[in-house]
Amino acid sequence: MTAFEGHQLRVVIADDDAFTLSLVSSGLESKGFIVTAATSVSQALEAVRAVDPHAIVSDLNFGTTETGAELLRTVADEFPWVGLVVLTSHRSPELAVANPEKIPAGAVYMVKSQLGRIDDLVDAVHRAISGQPVDDELDDDEREDDVPVVTAAQAEVLRMLAEGASTRALAEARGTTVRAVETMLHRLFMALGLDTSENANPRVAAVTMWQRGGIRVR
C-alpha cells in the first residue's frame, strides 16, 4: 500500500480542450480522486484557492496570453505544498509557450501522446505530491526514437508560426530582417525533414507536426 491509498486526493485539472479535460477528469475520478475541472488559467487559480487540492494537473498552452507556466508558478509560490504536473501535447515546453522558464523545477512533466494509461498519470500525481525527484534524463527508448530535434530558437519560431505569425511578423518579433527569417525557416523545415520544393507547403506541414507533438528541443 502506498502512502496515498485509502485517501481521497483532491486534484485540479486545467485544460482548454474539452475532450482532454473530460477524459482526464473521468479517468482520475475512476481511481478515487476528487476532481475539479477548469478551462482557463483564471478558473484554475480560483479552483486551487477554493478547494485546496493536493495536486494540479495543467496543460501549458491555453490559446491565450496566460499560460500554464504562469499558472504553475503562481500555485508554487502561493501553495508550495501542492503537487505540480504538466500534461501537454509537446515533448519540450519551449514548443508550447513563450515562458517555459516559469515552470517550477519540481513539476512532473507528462506528454499526452505518451500517456498509455490513466495509471501513468496517477503515478505522476503521486510523485508530484510526494516531491519525488524528477529524472530529466531521457530513457533509452526516447533517445533512440525518430523524433525530429530543433533548437530553442527554432522552437520559438515554430510556436509563432502555429499562432499564425507571418514572415514579416516573425522578423519584427525577433528584431531581424525578412531574409534572415526566411533562412531560419528553411533551416527549421530541413531540421523537421520536410519537403521544401516549389510545390510543397512546409509551413502547414511544420504546424501539423507541432500540433501532434512530434518534435523535441535539444
User: What average pLDDT does this structure show over 103-118?
Assistant: 90
Pick from 145, 152, 141, 147: which is nearest to 192 by CA?
147
The reported pLDDT for the residue numbered 123 is 93
Read off the pTM. 0.81
89 and 68: one domain? yes
Q: What does the DSSP 8-state code read for residue 112?
A: G
29 and 52: one domain? yes
The total number of structural domains that make up the chain:
2
User: With bands split at pLDDT 50, 70 and 90, how would you rate the model's confidence at 110?
Assistant: very high
Say if CB 112 and CB 87 are below 8 A apart. yes
Pick from 189, 119, 118, 114: which is nearest to 150 by CA?
189
For 124-167, the pLDDT digits (tens) are 999 999 887 555 444 444 444 678 899 988 999 999 999 899 99
Distances (CA, A) of 129 to 56, 82, 84, 98: 9, 7, 7, 27
124 and 161: one domain? no
User: With bands split at pLDDT 50, 70 and 90, how would you rate the model's confidence at 81?
Assistant: very high
- Is 176 contained in some domain? yes
| CATH code, domain with 56 | 3.40.50.2300
Beta bridge partners of 10: 34
| CATH code, domain with 168 | 1.10.10.10
Residues 6+ positions from 143 with CB-CB distance below 8 Å: none
For 190-210, the pLDDT digits (tens) are 999 999 888 889 999 999 999
The reported pLDDT for the residue numbered 27 is 95
- Is 191 contained in some domain? yes
Beta bridge partners of 67: 61
The reported pLDDT for the residue numbered 9 is 94
181 and 101: one domain? no
69 and 104: one domain? yes
Residues 6+ positions from 43 with CB-CB distance below 8 Å: 14
19 and 112: one domain? yes
120 and 59: one domain? yes
Ramachandran bin of 194, using left for φ above 0, alpha for ψ from -120 to 50, beta for the remaining angles: beta
- Is 184 contained in some domain? yes
132 and 184: one domain? no
Last residue of a domain, one of 109, 136, 163: 136
- Is 3 contained in some domain? no
User: What average pLDDT does this structure show over 59-84?
Assistant: 93
Spatial separation of the C-alpha atoms in residues 129 and 135, rounded to whole Å: 16
Spatial separation of the C-alpha atoms in residues 144 and 139, rounded to whole Å: 9
Task: Show the domain range for 172.
Answer: 149-217
Last residue of a domain, one of 68, 101, 136: 136
87 and 173: one domain? no
Say if CB 99 and CB 54 are below 8 A apart. no
Phi, psi of 87 (to 5 degrees): -130, 100
For 3-50, the pLDDT digits (tens) are 555 368 999 999 999 999 999 999 999 999 999 999 999 999 999 999
55 and 123: one domain? yes
User: What average pLDDT does this structure show over 80-99?
Assistant: 93
The reported pLDDT for the residue numbered 135 is 52
Lowest mean pLDDT among 3-7, 75-79, 116-120, 174-178: 3-7
Distances (CA, A) of 95 to 86, 127, 133, 149: 14, 24, 24, 11
State the helix-helix crossing angle for 118-130 and 18-30, rounded to 10 degrees. Answer: 80
Please name the residue that has the C-alpha cell 512533466: 109
